[in-house]
Structure 1
Amino acid sequence: MSAEAADPGPGIDPRRIAEIIVETGSGGRRGSGYLISSGSVLTAAHVVADATRTVVRCCADRPGEWSAPAAVTWAHEDTDLAVLTVVPPAGGLPVTDPARFGRIADDRHGVVGVHAVGFPLWKRRHRDGAYFRELHQADGTVAALSNLRTGTLEMTVKPADADPDPATSPWAGMSGAAVWAGGTIIGVVAEHHRPEGPRRLTAVRLDYALRRLGAAVRAELARLLGLADPEDLPLALPGDSGDEEPAAVRVVGVPVAYGIELFKNRTRERDEIARHLSDPTIRMVTVIGRRGIGKSALAAKVMDLLDRGEWPGPTPGPQPSGLVNLSTRTSGISLERLYFGCAQLLGSEREAHLRTVWAADGTTQDRLDALLAAMGDRLIVILMDNLEDLLHDDCTIADEELAVFLDWLFRAPRAPLRLLVTSQEPVRLAPELRRFAAHVELSEGLMPAEAAALLRELDRDGSLGIAGLSDDELLHAAVRVHGVPRALELLVGVLADETELLPSLRDVLEDFTRRENVVADLAQDRYKQLDEPARAVLGVLAALRAPAAPSAVEEILHGLDPDLPASPVLTSLVRAHLVSLDRASRTVALHPLDADIACARMPWHGPLGRQAVEREIASWYARQARPQGTWRTLEDIEPHRRRFDHLVRAGDHDAAARVLCDISEWLVWHGSVLAAVKMHHDVDGHIGDERVRLAHTVAYGHARLSAGPMRQAAELFAEAVTLAESLGDRPALQNALFGLGDAHRQLGDLAATVASLARATELARELGDTEREVHALLSASLAHSYLGDGERALTCADQLGARAEASGDPLTTARAGNARTIALLTLGRWRETADAGAETARAYRAAGSQEAIAYALNARGIALLALDDAAQAASVLEEARHEASCMENPRAEGVCLFNLAWAFWCDDRLEECATTADRASTALEIAGATQAAAARSLAAAARACPDDPRSAAESLTRGAAALDGNAEVIAPAWLADHARRLAG
């Protein structure tokens, strides 16, 4: 198994614990540290103070042990923190995941479990004529309110077993060890004060140290640590001492309760579900069966038993700490719903942390990793009801984010999540993932005896004559409707309504059971017999598509017809088993089958028609909506999204688009890009008002800029430009031109980029919109660089620099640096490029923006390659790739990976070159970038070399031919030169 494959995940990785060996003019000393990324070690500043030579050793006395010289990159005496740069030798640990940092709460009493691993003096040993330090794991606690004045952590640990030198602390050498709480680093061991006794260690508190630093110094340390927001570290998870009482089962979401109160045995299927849920290798259990067969009732029964602390099978299994109920017919099923449903089960601090992660607009993988870390060992069972609504015709998942979630869940080595799914069709999974899923077939209705018992139970008072029938008669009725639970309920409903005609159960069966789809036909005939008020109530419930309070239903109906007796009609529908009542939540709902039929039978026009109902529901949601200034979470805009859905169903696409334009940008910037794209797609091509269409087209273009494909973004902005010009809307025209230029730039159409951005810059200046002018000027400079005109690009950069100096705006300063870095790269001024790239990345981080950190670091990496510093270039380019991944920009990630692969080639790390080039090819193909072929050629060259230098040379020659000279990619000549050396 490779070192990477063996990565234990969040928390202390023993292979990354570092021993720091320091030489000074007056002797030597030892300390501890932790490899926080592929080339950086965190330690205490006093450990490396006055060092003339520093060596880092990792994996001590383990397979793969290595040592390498280190340089002090950053040190601060007051905070006693330092970061060292080290280049692991070939074959050293390939660190892929940067360490995570956090804090503990300081506003309440608490005792937090912590850990630190280092090399203290009292663990000095003698063997084979030499002394060495043995590793020691110090487990202890931190009292949250101790040492607040000094901003340090008071660690209480087991005392040292020896005191070998009375003049020196037995804990000497432990300094620099990372202090962990859960899976995050919260500090660094700094001191041992002998008067405090042998059980107390003092550690630097990372969050306090960051606050004490000046802005520029803090930004540099944050960059080295990989912190997005150094002023708001997340709370360490778990944030307690480990003696927390297990939480009671909690439930999030509306329980699927159709038929649960009348649920009959299904013992075999329940046992089968329980067996799969208790199997740690099974991540998803799907109950499969046709509509109305009782899938939801069976799943609801299992969830109800789990909620009550009972295991649904004969052998007890692991009790979940929480349950999440999702359904396409109520709340909807999406990654967003699933993520926040789980978050609500984890407590307010973890929920707040996860909301921050979601809003940070990282990758889906980042969000899921954060969720997994927050869950710890908690088992959560998630019900996903009626999943067939989210399947393509070939039964693959249609929702892209949900498909990513399932792939992640199945591949994760540890995932305390179990999915209980109901679907009319099995989900089609990749062959390698099918072993993680199990199916429970519900192809038959209830067994005849169970169905007969259900019929008796539906006539408890005997008023319908069912209770008095013989077992044979009831069994006959059950068999005729195939034991389908919903059909049995509807049969009884017909008898309950036709009291004047007094039909027998046999009469009803003769009228209905000859039809092909028993459940649908029964429901349709049942619907035909309802009067207009009852149909109106069913219509509202069907259109709502979610459980609702009776008062909400009555308010909506009052808006449609003030004289309609909503309350008594609703009561009668509940009694006739057409509407279900959940007394716990005090909501009413329509069975999904009945909702489908009611919607299909509703007329479109008329005071109680489908369009009027959808419009009235949209108006009701408008009254529930919160003003924009109060939005903090995605739940805050839920009424707006519901209102949008109902306006679309009403055919009011102009009104729906207006609602969408109010929330689209907010959705994009808070991580729900794909949700915004889908909503825009729903109204696209249906908008009549040209000004509404203009606003929609611009907003849709910006959503596509984030989600792709880029070609569609360009088409949308081009359409918006034409429309804005015809309407004379100059602000919208400027916005559209800028978006068009940005899209062309990412597509590589540089001439069109320059033309669009020049117009956008001029318009912004005329409108007095400084921010838009600055952004357009940046894009114009970059476009000149990509056209190879570095001097004009540098002129634009200088103009940006002048504006930054005049305004003092941090983001403008960063953008000016970005333009200057790429211009210098185009001109081949390598040392200036390397310095400018580092400064630009720092400036963007100081401004709190990820806008172009990846591009700045990528430019610095290329410059370092040109300066023959391949090892340092690899470290910088790996950091650039990580930043691009956080941006969810496949082209940027692909470019960084390609350049990183070349750095590995230059550093004779051929295996890493090949695998990285493969990754680059995949990312560039997704982005539709032309460099994908060059990446494939580089991978082939790395695999051929050194055994077949001629083949390697041919592959490099092909790679050089596939490059177009873009300044942000290594030069074709570099590949060609290496090809000549191999061929010669």
Structure 2
Amino acid sequence: MTDRSGGLDPQRVAEVIISTAAKGGSRRCGSGYLLARDLVLTAAHVLDGAASIRVRLNADQDGQWTARAQPAWSDADLDIAVLRILEASVDPPGPVPPVARVRFGRIVRPPVECETMGFPRFKVRDDAARPGADGRPTQYRDCEHATGHATNWANRREGTLEIQVREPAPDPDRGRSPWEGMSGAPVFCGDTLVGVIGKHHPKDGPGALAAYRVDHWYQRLDADRLAELAALIGLPGKPGGLTQVTAPDHRGTDGTPRQLPATTSAFTGRERELAQLLDITDDPGGSSGTVVIWAIDGMAGIGKTTLAVHAGHRLAERFPDGQLFVDLHGYTRGMTPRDPADALAAVLQGYGVPPGRIPADLDARAALYRGRLAGTRTLIILDNARSEAQVRPLLPGDSGCLVLVTSRRRLGALDDASSLPLDALPMRDAVALFREVAGPGRTQADDPLLEEIVELCGGLPLALRIAAALIRIRPTWTLSRLARRLRDARPSLQRFSDGERDLTSMFDLSYQNLTHDQKSLFRCLSLSPGAEIDAYAAAALLDCDLTDTEDLLQDLVDHNLLAEPAAGRYRMHDLIRAHAHTLAQGDPADQRGAAVQRLLNYYGHTSVSADTRTFEYARHEQHGSAPAHAPALPSPHEAYTWLRAERATLEACLALATRQGWLEHVVTLTEGLAELLYADGPWSRARALHAAAAAAAEHLGDRGGQADALNNLGRVLHMTGEYVAAADAHARAADLFQQVSERAGQADALNELGRVLRSTGDYPAAADAHSRALALYLESNDLIGQAGSLGHRGRLRRLTGDTAGAVEDLSQALSRYEQLGHRLSQAKTLTVLGQVRRATGDEAGAADADGRALTIYQELSEQSRPPSGHSEWLDRAGALIGLGRMRMTVEDYAGALDAHARALDIYREMNSYDNEAWATNLYAAVFAAAGDTAHALATYRDALRLTREVQHRDDEAIALEGIGAMLLRSTEGTGQGAEYLNQALAAYRSLSMRPDVERVQARLDALTTTDPS
């Protein structure tokens, strides 16, 4: 054997195929894992009644090979067996490579992340390419890669691990488990094998498996049998040699939140308080079953957040399911305390919950949040809280979690919370902190001035850090000079004093030592409504050169007056920001107003420019002059990245503009947020913002801006199924664009109007809208617009039976997409063109179009280069959907399922929930076409859940219709099937989707005819 492996290796997963001695020679399957070139680990009961045993490696891959095997070691009580591979019945494609030794281990502290691979019954697939003697497809078992969590605290009497994984669809045969065939599959935690799948207890639920634990082998086997097994498979001779598994293998792509800010290397003191926070057991809540909550309180600048964050990093390994950090802005100047509902929404989105799935009600959000934390060991830091009411909805319900709350006031009404008040640092610790920040060689340990400086700073960590920074960055300064300055500054700015300690003198002293330009930027930064800022925005505020602004920002960082939490992103501490804001009030009001106007102008222009790069249509010309400096965002990916990074600031600027009645900024900033709101939601907020922007533009007499806002509003209304309102918005937008002679905008609005009208079944009006759009695009020589409107009109003509017109439009659209080099759009157009040509009897033309489309889809979906950004990932998924549809057309259902599944994986990875919703309907349709009613029904149910969560009413209707159709296929589902069809019919009617209404109504009428009762 070679060195130990890096974990579960798919090429070593084996299908164990058993032929029994029973009459007829029945066959069944299990799973296993290659431990050495000739040894396979499996479950003993898989071999019961075996007349012959075969193992298959690299199943259904190019390197597949099969070999006969026989038991080399087995124990029925442990349900473990080792097979020895004999000669291969189907030779490997080449020499079998060396097999790395497996690392065996045991779980010490659950739950831990795990993974397993095997061949369960629910993975049975039809192989259309290999028909049997009766002409029907043969079947094969595909491999299941199940991931989840394992615990050894359940099933203690049985001595098995409980594995929680994704639930499969129910087995059509209610007497059988969908997991049949998974027995023998290895369970890995990271790089360590901890068990072998042996059972599925149906009462535990469809997602619960039981695995026989490696550490129990030592308890159940006598010394001789254990020695035999150890010698055979490389098992450690004693249990102490097993690797201890205490946490999941976090590799940065599992979505687990890691939100703690960086801790400081100069953390000093607080040993007693830190020890209290660290002194928790493995089960924080213990026998009481309550959540452990520490409420850290103290005055401003006392070091509450620093302590909480430092403790959080020390505790992180003991809370492997995540660390959450939520700033509640309880005392952030210029910001209202954060609404707990908004905080919950942000946390849930961090867990991957889409905006459309987050309930509007606070209690419902809190319940969903607690559900996400249930059964986990998660650390939650709630920073800068103002009240108990702000904190309570963010408390988990699981005793395995730990909560640290920081606040300037004592939260006495927070039940079950332990209070940890912070006072000034003791002299020894304060001196140590000052010397650490000041840097090596800048102070002497016995200098008596150190204690005086600590007293002048009130022992407050923040003040000490600022004072020490003055010593660090000014080589000519001595402690004597610093102490004298502190004494002179002490009488000023008493508002931050509690009567004994004066913090603001430190801020003022630090400020007085800045240059003129540094002071100007310091004051200006307090005027920004956002929590963070970059150099471009700061340059707009200061009306300064970009390079000079970058230097000034770094100067403020050096003075500890500004933090740089990420490269190029700057943030002020709340107290420093408050002091800067006080100083800024001394500047002339017109000067401050001009700075804010420059900032909003910068964010408006840059966001609209970024938004335009992610959107296929033109935007209305912006108001105001372009900013002197703005980031280059040449690609849609870079534009999306900038918009998402700045979303919170853009919304803060929009809120400021709304409060102040600055309507031009309201219009522009809303326009800049349009694509983010469309893609990420929440759509209820998008609807309200676009409506407000339209009203603002109308008030200004800005008909072009009003048209843009209405067009954006219409797109959101179309997405949420409000077709009548969407059509009205697009029609009004088209009229307004026409009034201001913006032909491109008018064409875009008409194209959107056509799409909405098509959804309602008003095909003549939809075709007219696309024709009017096409005429405008032809005038402006806009090829992409022409191609889009021709493609939309061609599809409409197909639906109305005008096949000749459809062929003409689609062919022209194809020609333009070829000129533009838009490969995915070419393939989509060719797909529809093939369908139309087939309907006219032009089989040769249809075959040509299908073949060209298939070639493009395959090329796009199988590119070796990974997509570089958001839009390219969507194109890859779109190509896979198109490929799946082509495969389905030729009844290659296995290929269609594979393509759709890969597309769904991309949508899920991107958190593209609206795309996942409609694509799940398509996936279900493939199962239905293949005759796999059980999987089709289960997948349509998934689609129904998803479409309701993202509020796609048309896709919801499709899912309802699919469920009804699948229930009608079953022997007992006629009544339920009709019920679902009636729900689909009502949904289609509410959306005015006439063709769909007629189709479902005809099906229901047929049911009534065939069932007189």
Cross-structure match for 1:817? 830
Cross-structure match for 2:274? 267
Measured at CA, do residues 938 and 300 of structure 1 come closer, stay the same or move farther in structure 2, by a change above 3 Å? Answer: closer
Cross-structure match for 1:342? none
Cross-structure match for 2:595? 612
CA RMSD of aligned residues (A): 7.5
Report if aligned partners of 2:424, 2:460 keep a CA contact under 8 Å in 1. Answer: no
Measured at CA, do residues 948 and 550 of structure 1 come closer, stay the same or move farther in structure 2, by a change above 3 Å? Answer: closer
Partner deviation per Cα, 1:859-884 (whole Å, 9 max, x = no partner) = 779978xx9x9999878876787788
Cross-structure match for 2:350? 402
Whether 2:306 is the aligned partner of 1:297: answer yes
SS in 2 for 1:422: strand
Offset at residue 761 of structure 1 (A): 1.3
Report if aligned partners of 2:940, 2:962 keep a CA contact under 8 Å in 1. Answer: yes
The residue type equivalent to 2:939 in the other structure is: T
Whether 2:807 is the aligned partner of 1:797: answer yes
In structure 2, how many angstroms separate the alpha carbons of the residues matched to 1:583 and 1:70? Answer: 54
Per the normalisation by structure 1, the TM-score is 0.50
Report if aligned partners of 1:605, 1:612 keep a CA contact under 8 Å in 2. Answer: no
The residue type equivalent to 2:940 in the other structure is: A
Measured at CA, do residues 744 and 265 of structure 1 come closer, stay the same or move farther in structure 2, by a change above 3 Å? Answer: farther
In structure 2, how many angstroms separate the alpha carbons of the residues matched to 1:558 and 1:587? Answer: 19
Measured at CA, do residues 640 and 695 of structure 1 come closer, stay the same or move farther in structure 2, by a change above 3 Å? Answer: farther
Offset at residue 698 of structure 1 (A): 8.1
Report if aligned partners of 1:445, 1:485 keep a CA contact under 8 Å in 2. Answer: no
Report if aligned partners of 2:294, 2:405 keep a CA contact under 8 Å in 1. Answer: yes
Partner deviation per Cα, 1:419-469 (whole Å, 9 max, x = no partner) = 7663524484698x8567431244556445746777788999777996898
Whether 2:736 is the aligned partner of 1:723: answer yes
Q: 1:43 aligns with which of 62, 69, 94?
A: 62
Per the normalisation by structure 2, the TM-score is 0.49
Cross-structure match for 2:982? 958
In structure 2, how many angstroms separate the alpha carbons of the residues matched to 1:770 and 1:616? Answer: 36
Partner deviation per Cα, 1:98-125 (whole Å, 9 max, x = no partner) = 9xxxxxxxxxxxxxxxxxxxxxxxxxxx
The residue type equivalent to 1:43 in the other structure is: D
The residue type equivalent to 1:922 in the other structure is: R
Alignment of 1:617-696 (within 5 A): 625-629=630-634, 633=638, 637=642, 654=664, 690=702, 693=705
In structure 2, how many angstroms separate the alpha carbons of the residues matched to 1:60 and 1:845? Answer: 28
Q: 2:943 aligns with which of 912, 915, 920?
A: 920
Offset at residue 33 of structure 1 (A): 7.3
Cross-structure match for 1:155? none
SS in 2 for 1:737: helix
In structure 1, how many angstroms separate the alpha carbons of the residues matched to 2:524 and 2:119? Answer: 68
Measured at CA, do residues 914 and 495 of structure 1 come closer, stay the same or move farther in structure 2, by a change above 3 Å? Answer: farther
Offset at residue 745 of structure 1 (A): 3.8
In structure 2, how many angstroms separate the alpha carbons of the residues matched to 1:255 and 1:696? Answer: 42
Cross-structure match for 2:773? 760
Offset at residue 255 of structure 1 (A): 3.8
Report if aligned partners of 1:905, 1:913 keep a CA contact under 8 Å in 2. Answer: yes
Report if aligned partners of 1:446, 1:485 keep a CA contact under 8 Å in 2. Answer: no
In structure 2, how many angstroms separate the alpha carbons of the residues matched to 1:954 and 1:552? Answer: 59
Alignment of 1:315-714 (within 5 A): 392-393=340-341, 395-398=343-346, 401-402=349-350, 404=352, 422=383, 424=385, 425-426=390-391, 428=393, 437-442=401-406, 443=410, 444=419, 446-448=421-423, 450=425, 499=487, 513=498, 536=520, 538-543=522-527, 559=544, 579=561, 590-596=572-578, 598-599=580-581, 602-603=584-585, 606=589, 608-609=591-592, 611-612=594-595, 615=598, 625-629=630-634, 633=638, 637=642, 654=664, 690=702, 693=705, 697=709, 700=712, 704=716
Alignment of 1:100-249 (within 5 A): none
Whether 2:760 is the aligned partner of 1:775: answer no
Measured at CA, do residues 388 and 801 of structure 1 come closer, stay the same or move farther in structure 2, by a change above 3 Å? Answer: same
Report if aligned partners of 2:58, 2:65 keep a CA contact under 8 Å in 1. Answer: no
Measured at CA, do residues 699 and 266 of structure 1 come closer, stay the same or move farther in structure 2, by a change above 3 Å? Answer: farther
Offset at residue 774 of structure 1 (A): 1.6
Partner deviation per Cα, 1:661-708 (whole Å, 9 max, x = no partner) = 79987x899x88989979986977656584872695488469859986
Deviating more after overlay: 587-596 vs 612-621: 612-621
Offset at residue 814 of structure 1 (A): 2.6
In structure 1, how many angstroms separate the alpha carbons of the residues matched to 2:921 and 2:542? Answer: 61
Partner deviation per Cα, 1:348-375 (whole Å, 9 max, x = no partner) = xxxxxxxxxxxxxxxxxxxxxxxxxxxx
Report if aligned partners of 1:543, 1:613 keep a CA contact under 8 Å in 2. Answer: yes
SS in 2 for 1:43: coil
In structure 2, how many angstroms separate the alpha carbons of the residues matched to 1:325 and 1:614? Answer: 33
In structure 1, how many angstroms separate the alpha carbons of the residues matched to 2:825 and 2:539? Answer: 55
Offset at residue 730 of structure 1 (A): 1.1
Report if aligned partners of 1:750, 1:783 keep a CA contact under 8 Å in 2. Answer: yes
Partner deviation per Cα, 1:497-524 (whole Å, 9 max, x = no partner) = 88469779xx979x9659xxx99x9879
Report if aligned partners of 2:128, 2:893 keep a CA contact under 8 Å in 1. Answer: no
Measured at CA, do residues 529 and 697 of structure 1 come closer, stay the same or move farther in structure 2, by a change above 3 Å? Answer: same
In structure 2, how many angstroms separate the alpha carbons of the residues matched to 1:551 and 1:815? Answer: 41
The residue type equivalent to 1:915 in the other structure is: A
In structure 2, how many angstroms separate the alpha carbons of the residues matched to 1:61 and 1:445? Answer: 51
Offset at residue 725 of structure 1 (A): 1.0
Report if aligned partners of 2:486, 2:505 keep a CA contact under 8 Å in 1. Answer: no
Measured at CA, do residues 455 and 708 of structure 1 come closer, stay the same or move farther in structure 2, by a change above 3 Å? Answer: farther
Report if aligned partners of 2:827, 2:857 keep a CA contact under 8 Å in 1. Answer: yes
In structure 1, how many angstroms separate the alpha carbons of the residues matched to 2:568 and 2:953? Answer: 55
Offset at residue 734 of structure 1 (A): 1.5
In structure 2, how many angstroms separate the alpha carbons of the residues matched to 1:583 and 1:396? Answer: 23
The residue type equivalent to 2:953 in the other structure is: A
SS in 2 for 1:397: helix
Report if aligned partners of 1:262, 1:454 keep a CA contact under 8 Å in 2. Answer: yes
SS in 2 for 1:439: strand
Cross-structure match for 1:125? none
Instruction: Report the count of equivalent residues.
Output: 696
Offset at residue 775 of structure 1 (A): 0.9
SS in 1 for 2:345: coil
Cross-structure match for 1:172? none
SS in 2 for 1:440: strand
Offset at residue 627 of structure 1 (A): 3.6
Cross-structure match for 1:366? none
Partner deviation per Cα, 1:147-202 (whole Å, 9 max, x = no partner) = xxxxxxxxxxxxxxxxxxxxxxxxxxxxxxxxxxxxxxxxxxxxxxxxxxxxxxxx
In structure 2, how many angstroms separate the alpha carbons of the residues matched to 1:822 and 1:892? Answer: 24
In structure 2, how many angstroms separate the alpha carbons of the residues matched to 1:68 and 1:549? Answer: 54
In the alignment, structure 2 segments of 5+ residues that lack a partner are 1-6, 19-53, 67-89, 91-115, 148-183, 187-248, 252-257, 355-367, 411-418, 436-446, 471-481, 607-626, 862-874
The residue type equivalent to 2:305 in the other structure is: S
Offset at residue 740 of structure 1 (A): 3.1
Report if aligned partners of 2:787, 2:816 keep a CA contact under 8 Å in 1. Answer: no
The residue type equivalent to 1:592 in the other structure is: D
SS in 2 for 1:728: coil
SS in 2 for 1:771: helix
